[in-house]
Chain A
């Protein structure tokens, strides 16, 4: 199998992140999309009021604020110029788009493996070192599943994964993303060094 140049991966990831924002007006967040799908499956659609337009929402917000804090708190500051549209940072909430996104990820991975002549479905990661550390395919499946659960737990706890923090957050110089990326890349490098040293 011939690997593509390492720098091409970086360019491809950057293009994917930019293209995702251009097409969806949302920042790329793979774990956010996945958790959104899971939340929708568990709890159904968020009960947004389809009859509530933006202007209706503003009027209702002012009324609710006046009721909660008094009339003086509900007066908006007139902007000197139209305020720019805030950059969305929340997890995408469009389940249909998320399904298309994950379908594209799977198809892209299969296409990449096919082009490299390595499209051979198997249990494991095809690494002799991993097999020697873990054992047969059954044990590899269990370890990979547990690893996936731990990754999911960590991404929910950290509020993002390698795409949301590592690609989008770091490029926007977000402190939390820099710290998260430092943590998971540091842990990966440390684990690799330990394995190379003792195995």
Chain B
């Protein structure tokens, strides 16, 4: 998520809940602590970010 850190407004809520709060529930933390590779698009709640569907015209 390093490339997204400039979006502090968006990431602040995630940081507050997971990084500075219940970090043991963070899926990125769990994978890292288990020595697993952490996908860039994995969110702390375990959701893998996917490309959004284009809006219907």
Contact B50 A52 (CB under 8 A): yes
Q: Is A20 an interface residue (CB 8 A)?
A: no
Tell me if B10 and A54 are in contact (CB < 8 A).
no
B18 CB to closest chain A CB, in angstroms? Answer: 10
With known contacts A56-B52, A61-B4, A39–B10 Cβ distance under 8 A: no
**Least Cβ distance of A65 to chain B in Å?**
5
Chain A interface size, as a band, is 35 or more
Q: Which residues of A contact B9 (CB under 8 A)?
A: 73, 75-77
Known: A49-B50, A49-B51. A54 touches B41 (CB 8 A): no
Whether, in the assembled complex, B36 has its beta carbon less than 8 Å from a beta carbon of chain A, the answer is yes
Interface residues, chain A, CB within 8 Å of chain B?
35, 38-40, 42-49, 51-52, 54, 56-65, 68-69, 73-77, 79, 83, 86, 88-90, 93
**Cβ-defined contact, A76 with B7, below 8 A:** yes
A43 x B37 contact (CB < 8 A): yes
Across-interface contacts of A76 in B (CB, < 8 A): 7-10
A43 contact from B7, B11, B36, B43, Cβ within 8 A: B36
Q: Is the interface of B mostly helix, strand, loop or mixed?
A: loop
Tell me the complex Cα distance, A86–B6, Å.
8
Q: How far is the CB of A193 from chain B (nearest CB, A)?
A: 36
Name the one of A35, A43, A74, A88 contacting B10, with C-beta atoms under 8 angstroms.
A74
Residues of B within 8 A of A42 (CB): 35
Residue B14 at the chain A interface, CB threshold 8 Å? yes
Residue of B nearest to A78 (CB): B9
Residue contact B10 to A62, C-beta cutoff 8 Å: yes
Is there contact, CB below 8 Å, between A86 and B5? yes
Taking the nearest CB of chain B, how far is it from the CB of A97, in angstroms? 15
Contacts of B41 in A (CB 8 A): 48-49, 52, 57, 60
In the complex, the chain A residue whose C-beta lies closest to that of B14 is A65
Given contacts A52-B50, A57-B49, A73-B12, 9 further A-B contacts (CB under 8 A): A46-B37, A47-B48, A48-B39, A49-B49, A52-B41, A52-B51, A61-B10, A65-B14, A74-B10
